[in-house]
Structure 1
């Protein structure tokens, strides 16, 4: 029953957003930065070399970004470092002027981009709150009325009369966040501010944005946290090298981001060209190759919960009776997560002759936590499996990515039932 109510609520929210007018219109936005090869650090250098030629590199931070965000929508922007996310937010905030295209905003704007900018380090928190709140549009009376709530939210009651230059960086950001959320804005631009403070304060930030979401605020949210994207966002956009790759449902965008991000990391750190330990007597048989597959295609990364196949190719150089083929998966910490052999599965490979070649496939589900997993395939003589012919430790690897981090070693599929007392 509860699930049905939640489904209706979500459906109503989607209908309301679809019928709402546009709050943020980004039309074919482009932004390029010129990076000079020769930099002058003093006026004297410029005076001594007035005719020195100056050349530039061009960094195309944004390329034809086009999207409309509706009133009340929680819109996520994700991408790797340097993809152009923060540049886009600063164009929306008016900090940067785009080279091409247009930004149209319908409503009062509040940027949560660089929290604490504008604070005076020689003033106390009390004075900074009032000044900053007034700068963001509140009256002096409103700023004073909300002062106690701001201090309580930031958990800085004991440091109200301490000058900000004596604050830690985390304390200053918490104060900036607590002040910024007091602004009665229609559109909020949020850049990674949920990463501030300790775990308890981060939870308060999550709850605050949940409240703003329910109040129908339009929120443009830049983050690397795919769990937050799925938890809050109605839609999301994946950006890479300044260009929009995809706009769609949060879960699909989160998966696309992980595939883009971890696909590159796994390629760079696969370790396939590194030396690895090899044990046994390869004169009888050898492991030629091993790899991972999903839906029949070779992969170096896969989403948590998808089916994964481990493929191992073996070649025999002499007669081997009833060989045992096995695989072991370990995470980067060396914890063993999966072991299987043909013997345990009741599979007898018979007697193999010199020249025989075969490929075995072990297929399993992947409730494993996000990590890189290393594969050790093995061939052994009949018996306990301890009499090794060939063991290739950490021959290859796969990265399992997920959109949330539970802190567990595995994320087992499970259900939760609620029984009212």
Structure 2
């Protein structure tokens, strides 16, 4: 290929030390001031090498915890690699994590100036472009509102608009665009196409195989920190789905349910297929859109899908992951209502998805994936994973374990065995049995 290389990555490795027990609250520090914290080594990247060419739309795909976001942060110079070499030719505009680089106590205008400078603009250029940024983000009337009062959708629109106006040579984009609404998502896709025509380079991390197949020139599949494939996006999507299903089959063999879309049916061949596109996804708490959820508060995910092809009686599955890529929950799969299953879903027809979830999660960041599948006879199933939304659970509770369980527990004193040491008041054969202790309500137990 004669096109110049603008990103060169050679033998890049990155390891994190992950505490076995996180001390996050003042109470924990006071109660256990001398507690030693043990760590485990997590190899996020293991000798990653690839090139990105000038003007290329390059996708990076992989399961949660595979190292995609770590790799993007190294390209953006947010993380430093432990080993290897990264060379980037041109000015970079990263859009990596919702809220990063924003000060919630500042207004939109003030944050535009700060982020514009971080992306390579002068303060004068950032101020001059503020109106265009706010117009594109459709936030002109909220320019003097502090960002702590913005919704997640407003934050996405502002961050993306700043990146667009920075007009950098290379755009680095993580999957946080899934938070935006349908109209703005379409504007983003229009920007991608326009920048691609203008010869700009775009690197996109995503779980949406439809975007990879339709937009990317090439794609990289990364798994457990290692490059598994670089090349044709269709092949990258197939291999990505194959990895998912192979691990699902392994779980089935161990007595666990398999992938969420098929409900554990082992013998079917999984075929990657663009079934739908995500039009919008919102997280609602008490009917109000939110990006953070208080510990213990239930919430609703409201999503809209558009059929990319004719579908009949599709299957739906759900997965919830924490920020370490650990699968936290997989509710039972479901279908359309009985009365709607007989007819075919037309191309571009809308599907309304509503998911009500209880919130037993400990404080931290979580993501929700939706799987859409269609059965093709007895031996084949067409599947598509979609990243619906990411959110943060906040609270002051301890962060041990994965979820919090509400339970009702009791302890009872009874007649001790003969010859054993008695605890408490002496008991004789004439003595009445000790009264049963009152059950104690335990509000929060950690699994």
Shift of 1:269: 7.0
Shift of 1:36: 2.8
Report the structure number with the largest CA radius of gyration: 1
Q: Distance in 2 between matches of 1:330 and 1:147?
A: 45
Q: Secondary structure at the match of 2:193?
A: helix
Query: Is the 8 Å Cα contact of residues 373 and 384 (structure 2) preserved in structure 1?
Result: no
Within-5 A mapping of 1:43-58: 49=34, 55-58=38-41
Q: 1:159 aligns with which of 142, 148, 152?
A: 142
Question: Which stretches in structure 1 are left out of the alignment for 5+ residues?
Answer: 1-17, 275-290, 293-297, 306-328, 339-368, 376-395, 406-421
2:131 is matched with: 148
1:31-76, Cα deviation, whole Å (9 max, x unpaired):
1111233555569669953xx6654211111111111111111111
Q: 1:61 aligns with which of 25, 36, 44?
A: 44
2:54 is matched with: 71
Q: Distance in 2 between matches of 1:106 and 1:216?
A: 14
Q: Secondary structure at the match of 1:204?
A: helix
1:371 is matched with: 373
CA RMSD in angstroms comes to 3.5
- Return closer, same or farther for 1:401/1:48 CA change in 2, 3 Å cut-off: closer
Q: Distance in 2 between matches of 1:248 and 1:112?
A: 24
Query: Is the 8 Å Cα contact of residues 266 and 399 (structure 1) preserved in structure 2?
Result: no
Within-5 A mapping of 1:21-420: 21-40=4-23, 49=34, 55-265=38-248, 268=251, 299-304=268-273, 331=315, 332-333=334-335, 335=341, 370-371=372-373, 373=375, 399-402=381-384
Q: Distance in 2 between matches of 1:37 and 1:370?
A: 35
Query: Is the 8 Å Cα contact of residues 61 and 220 (structure 2) preserved in structure 1?
Result: yes
Query: How many equivalent residue pairs?
Result: 292
TM-score (norm 1): 0.61
- Return closer, same or farther for 1:128/1:399 CA change in 2, 3 Å cut-off: same
- Return closer, same or farther for 1:34/1:46 CA change in 2, 3 Å cut-off: farther
- Return closer, same or farther for 1:136/1:46 CA change in 2, 3 Å cut-off: farther
Q: Secondary structure at the match of 2:168?
A: coil
Query: Is the 8 Å Cα contact of residues 220 and 229 (structure 2) preserved in structure 1?
Result: yes
- Return closer, same or farther for 1:124/1:44 CA change in 2, 3 Å cut-off: closer
- Return closer, same or farther for 1:400/1:180 CA change in 2, 3 Å cut-off: same
Q: Distance in 2 between matches of 1:233 and 1:273?
A: 35
Q: Distance in 1 between matches of 2:61 and 2:31?
A: 41
Query: Is the 8 Å Cα contact of residues 105 and 146 (structure 2) preserved in structure 1?
Result: yes
TM-score (norm 2): 0.58
- Return closer, same or farther for 1:303/1:200 CA change in 2, 3 Å cut-off: same
Deviates more, 1:38-47 or 1:186-195: 38-47
Q: Distance in 2 between matches of 1:59 and 1:137?
A: 33
Q: Distance in 2 between matches of 1:273 and 1:82?
A: 20
Question: Which stretches in structure 2 are left out of the alignment for 5+ residues?
Answer: 258-264, 275-312, 316-333, 345-370, 388-447
Shift of 1:191: 0.5
Q: Secondary structure at the match of 1:19?
A: coil
- Return closer, same or farther for 1:58/1:273 CA change in 2, 3 Å cut-off: closer
- Return closer, same or farther for 1:238/1:129 CA change in 2, 3 Å cut-off: same
Shift of 1:337: 8.6
- Return closer, same or farther for 1:44/1:404 CA change in 2, 3 Å cut-off: closer
